[in-house]
Amino acid sequence: MRVLTADDSLRALLARQLLLDRADLPVPRALERLCGLQTQHAPSGYLGLHARLTGFDRAELTRLLHDGRVVQAWAMRSTIHMLARRDHALFAAAVRAEQRADWLRLRRDVTGDDMVAAARVVRELLAGGPLRQAEITAELARRGVPAGTFPGVQHWVRLVRVPPAGTWETPRAHVYGLAADGGGPEPDARPEPGPYPEQAVRPEQAVTPEHAGHPEHVVRAEQVELARRYLRAFGPASAPDVARFAGWPVGVARAALGELTLRRFAAEDGTELVDVGRAPLPGPSTPLPVRFLGPFDAVLLGGHAARARILPAEHRHHVFATTRPRSAPTYLVDGRVAGTWTHREGRIVTAPFTDPGAAERRAVAEEAERLAAWHAS
């Protein structure tokens, strides 16, 4: 079995995340390739696509958000993602059951019946058009629905952030509407079938109740597809990596992976890694260009980031801190985070973690000029 070093994993991760060569792809197609972009702060999606696509135009993404071909919604890990429209229902179905169970486990002040009631109220309210979060929560309170059901209601009815809220110009994503299909099935219904046929689980792969979080769980076709898409965008990876990304128990990830035909590798510590066929594994001579990333870029999060050592542990506190509302924007040199940056008075101001050499300074300055010009355009 081939052993993948941290550098091997790093190059694979950067290639699949379109951070080795900018791709000439339409935005929805790029989002499908990337398994979505994490966007707690809406401009992060714009910055993430600028780092990954040739000729990326901010106005084009805003148009796609307005016409619904790109949506922002809760998805994996109960986190806001920018997704291609046709991925929204798929990813929501793949994570819904586990995230409902997690929500109810963490919120002792609400029950499943409370959440179903809240979902019905929200569906009724938004049938007439989008509303601000404050308007929704006020009406929930007026109708006697327990406080705390929102935002968890998004696990019972699919909501999207409605532009211009949640765009580059208006980052706060506080206006909600129903997904294009009306938000999915009735909130007390079983999850609707996705675009992929249901697949049975072999007995040795069955997910037990203690792993799945509820007694009737068997792996769904949408979960199998999400596992495949994660490997295509972030692999090779372990079953715990897949679980962490999706927000599943590890047993669910193992069952989903068991339905796929996979390549197998070993990490340096002996952990088994799996991968889809024909996904890139660039060689050690592959150039690693400078790239500037926005806050919360998922390339820095989760098991794939730890295995690739993309963010040196000694500098992690510069990027993630509980005293800041969001992570710091970062830039990559030789594939790893080398510093943070800010946009100030029309310039990109960098804060390197270590004293860079002349060649590194030139490469960073060149990419910073490109980013500053894009900001100004």
Model pTM score: 0.90
d(CA 100, CA 115): 9
The pLDDT profile of the chain, 377 residues, written as one tens digit per residue, is: 899 999 999 999 999 999 999 999 999 999 999 999 999 999 999 999 999 999 999 999 999 999 999 999 999 999 999 999 999 999 999 999 999 999 999 888 899 999 999 999 999 999 999 999 999 999 999 999 988 899 899 999 999 999 999 999 999 999 999 999 888 877 764 444 443 333 333 333 333 333 444 334 479 999 999 999 999 999 999 999 999 999 999 999 999 999 999 999 999 999 999 999 999 999 999 999 999 999 999 999 999 999 999 999 999 999 998 777 789 999 999 999 999 999 999 999 999 999 999 999 999 999 999 999 999 98
d(CA 161, CA 151): 12
CB 242 within 8 A of CB 256: yes
Please provide residue 229's backbone torsions phi and psi, each rounded to the nearest 5 degrees. Answer: -65, -35
d(CA 45, CA 59): 13
Residue 280 in tokens: 């890139």
Q: Beta strand 330-333 with 272-275: parallel, antiparallel or unpaired?
A: unpaired
d(CA 248, CA 203): 20
**Would you say the C-alpha torsion 183, 103, 107, 190 has a positive or negative sign?**
positive
d(CA 140, CA 269): 51
Cβ-Cβ contacts under 8 Å for 312 (sequence gap 6 or more): 336, 337, 353
Residue 125 in tokens: 């309210």
Under DSSP, the state recorded for 151 is T
